[in-house]
């Protein structure tokens, strides 16, 4: 029985985790859009919630955020960390769960990573290698 539990978690998130993640992502986006978090670092900043991951026991959630335009990224994540209890309470009003997970915020660096990979793929050295394979 314990082996089944290990194998299930090794496969990736379950259906319930994915459903809760998406509910939390939508609720967080609504909180950032409608209810203002009073902090100078967040005033006038438009936030994008790109992804929310939830632990298998649904007690911890990590929200990946990106300020529009990438301005003052670390200040924004720090401010969200300071106001995480307020944000958690606002999310709890919008989502009906037995237990509301603790939410931590991280900067989403997937945009930077995709830009780096794109620039590598467009480099002359890679283009030359790809061109020789197609001949």
- Tens digit of each residue's pLDDT, the chain (135 residues): 444 444 455 677 789 999 999 999 999 999 988 877 788 888 888 888 999 999 999 999 999 998 887 777 888 899 999 999 999 999 999 999 899 999 999 998 877 777 777 777 888 877 777 765 444
The Cα angle at residue 32 between residues 51 and 76, in degrees rounded to 5: 75
CB 108 within 8 A of CB 50: yes
Distance separating alpha carbons of residues 35 and 74, to the nearest angstrom: 21
Closest CA to 60 of 33, 28, 20: 20
pTM (two decimals): 0.75
Which CATH number is 2-108's, of 3.40.190.10, 3.30.300.20, 3.10.20.30, 3.40.50.2300?
3.30.300.20
Segments making up each domain of the chain, as ranges: 2-108
């Amino acid at each position: 029985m314990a082996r089944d539990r290990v194998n299930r978690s090794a496969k990736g998130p379950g259906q319930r985790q994915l459903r809760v993640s998406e509910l939390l992502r939508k609720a967080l986006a609504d909180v950032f859009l409608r209810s203002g978090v009073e902090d100078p670092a967040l005033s006038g900043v438009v936030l994008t919630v790109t992804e929310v991951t939830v632990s298998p026991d649904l007690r911890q959630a990590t929200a990946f955020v990106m300020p529009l335009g990438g301005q003052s990224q670390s200040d924004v994540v720090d401010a969200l960390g300071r106001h995480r209890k307020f944000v958690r309470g606002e999310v709890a009003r919008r989502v009906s769960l037995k237990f509301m997970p603790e939410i931590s915020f991280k900067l989403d660096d997937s945009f930077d990573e995709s830009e780096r990979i794109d620039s590598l793929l467009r480099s002359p050295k890679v283009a030359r290698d790809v061109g020789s394979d197609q001949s």
